[in-house]
């Protein structure tokens, strides 16, 4: 019986080796020097699985991402600002519903306003980073998304200033409008940020996808003028909770899709020797 040759030299002949400190997806073992056809020496996970899980190859149209760290930071800040904004709306509905049933809440009535102001600080930082990032990558977001992000930021500033002096239903409707604009802008950026983000969003069928999330915001907006009704308050609280859950998914998506861009080397040609380049779709 003839012994089979060692697969490692054969796979190296077919392709390249990892030339950077790429960690294994499962055990974090450094895979530098391993062939992409090999398995992790520690846990046995295919090297190619770690490669695909740890980097974002390129934008959807195949172009390289300029200013990757700036893109990642801007997307992350926008996602966090959107999440905090959604949390402020949920606090309002919790407080409003608790008042209706004569329950006490662990936070003051003004808590949503402070949360809004905190979210605004993140949002302003994200807007500044977006403006700088788009100078190197005009395709980072569509014109509609850019308008939505900056209009949402402007509206957020207005809402933060006038919330203490306007009726609650008006403030909540304005907050919902800001939320719609932020979600539209964030989803558009995630659609364009890379293949990882697109795959995640295409696989989603629940509240983390754009349409159900916007529908929940619309329900929350419609329930705001009917705040004196018990059913409307419960409906608004439920919709607000769904929006918060969906926004958490968006934050997870933004970090999952763009954190690899914080790495100094984040594309195939940076991580794999030139004898093996990825096949283009």
Quick: pLDDT tens for 57-89. 445 454 556 666 777 777 788 888 888 888 888
pLDDT band at residue 3 using 50, 70 and 90 as cut-offs: very low
Q: Tens digit of pLDDT for each residue in 188-234?
A: 777 776 655 665 555 554 445 677 888 888 888 888 777 677 788 88
Q: Which of 36-45, 54-63, 166-175 has the lowest mean pLDDT?
A: 54-63
The DSSP call for residue 55 is -
What was the pLDDT predicted at 203?
56
Tell which phi-psi region holds residue 23, choosing left (phi > 0), alpha (psi between -120 and 50) or beta: beta
Mean pLDDT over residues 237-265, rounded?
78
* Average pLDDT estimate for 169-174: 80
pTM reported for the whole predicted model: 0.66
**Region 243-272 average pLDDT:** 74
Arithmetic mean of pLDDT, 12-35: 75
Task: Write down the pLDDT at residue 11.
Answer: 39
Least confident of 129-138, 157-166, 171-180: 129-138
> Per-residue pLDDT for 238 more than 60?
yes
Rounded to whole angstroms, the Cα distance separating 131 from 226 reads: 39
> 3-state DSSP call for residue 224?
helix
What share of the chain has pLDDT > 70, as a percent?
62
CB 172 within 8 A of CB 89: yes
C-beta atoms surrounding 206 within 10 Å: 11
Q: Is the CB of residue 71 less than 8 Å from the CB of residue 253?
A: no
Instruction: List, in sequence order, the alpha helices (H) in 55-142.
Output: 68-100, 111-136
Which pLDDT value is given to residue 209? 66
Cα gap 256→150, rounded to integer Å: 24
Please, which residues have CB within 8 angstroms of residue 247's CB and are 6 or more apart in sequence? 82, 83, 86, 183, 213
Residue 279: per-residue pLDDT = 45
User: Which tops the pLDDT comparison, 116 or 59?
Assistant: 116
Tell me the average pLDDT across 106-122. 64
Q: Which of these, 116, 142, 258, 143, lies nearest to 196 by C-alpha position?
A: 258
């Amino acid at each position: 019986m003839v012994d089979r040759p060692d697969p490692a030299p054969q796979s190296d002949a077919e392709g390249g080796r990892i030339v950077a400190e790429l960690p294994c997806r499962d055990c974090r073992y450094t895979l530098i020097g391993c062939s992409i056809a090999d398995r992790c020496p520690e846990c046995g996970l295919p090297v190619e699985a770690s490669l695909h899980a740890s980097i974002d190859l390129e934008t959807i149209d195949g172009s390289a991402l300029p200013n990757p760290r700036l893109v990642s930071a801007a997307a992350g800040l926008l996602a966090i600002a959107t999440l905090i904004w959604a949390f402020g709306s949920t606090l309002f509905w919790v407080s409003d519903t608790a008042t209706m049933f004569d329950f006490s809440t662990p936070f003051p009535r003004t808590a949503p306003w402070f949360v809004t102001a905190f979210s605004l600080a993140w949002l302003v930082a994200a807007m500044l980073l977006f403006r700088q990032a788009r100078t190197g990558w005009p395709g980072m977001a569509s014109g509609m998304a850019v308008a939505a992000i900056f209009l949402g930021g402007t509206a957020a500033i207005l809402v933060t200033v006038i919330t203490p002096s306007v009726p609650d239903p008006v403030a909540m409707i304005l907050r919902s409008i800001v939320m719609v604009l932020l979600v539209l802008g964030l989803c558009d950026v995630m659609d364009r940020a890379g293949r990882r983000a697109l795959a995640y969003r295409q696989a989603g069928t629940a509240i983390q996808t754009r349409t159900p999330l916007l529908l929940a915001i619309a329900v929350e907006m419609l329930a705001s003028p009917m705040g004196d009704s018990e059913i409307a308050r419960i409906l608004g609280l439920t919709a607000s909770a769904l929006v918060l859950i969906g926004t958490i998914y968006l934050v997870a998506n933004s970090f999952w899709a763009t954190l690899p861009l914080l790495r100094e080397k984040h594309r195939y040609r940076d991580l794999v020797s030139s004898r093996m380049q990825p096949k283009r779709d």
